[in-house]
Amino acid sequence: MKLMKSEEPLPGRAVALTLLLCVSGLRAEPARYSVPEEAERGSFVANIAKDLGLTGEELLARQARLVPEGEKQYFQLNQHTGDLVVREQMDREELCGQSEPCL
């Protein structure tokens, strides 16, 4: 019986397969949501779990959390349901100054 030699050594194929399996489960899509400046505390913004195609249990298992860019945390994430709600009312002038548009 004749054994066929592969063009690529086994370690290289193993690394490629491992990377493929790791990357295939990742999604790198930014999500953007509009929130009115007047939105009060507790106002519903979106269901993150649904938007990511996950269940609340999966979101909890992955230990999803929000990391603010500034010192204030304007949003709150319910890990059990995936709901994103307003934690603190936003002030456009405080966030953006005179910049137009304010994103």
* pLDDT tens figures, 57-80: 898 898 888 888 778 888 999 989
pLDDT of 4 over the 70 cut:
no
**Please, how many CA atoms are within 13 Å of residue 36, restricted to the half-sphere of its CB?**
7
CA distance 22 to 15: 11
Q: What is the pLDDT of residues 5-20, one digit of tens each?
A: 445 444 445 454 444 4
Cα 59 from Cα 63, distance rounded (Å): 6
85 pLDDT above the threshold of 90: yes
Structure confidence at residue 1 (pLDDT): 52
Cβ neighbours of residue 44 under 8 Å, at least 6 residues apart?
A: 83, 84, 85
Cα atoms in the 13 Å half-sphere on the side-chain side of 28: 3
Q: What domains are there in the chain, each with its CATH number?
A: 39-90 (2.60.40.60)
Q: What is the pTM of this model?
A: 0.64
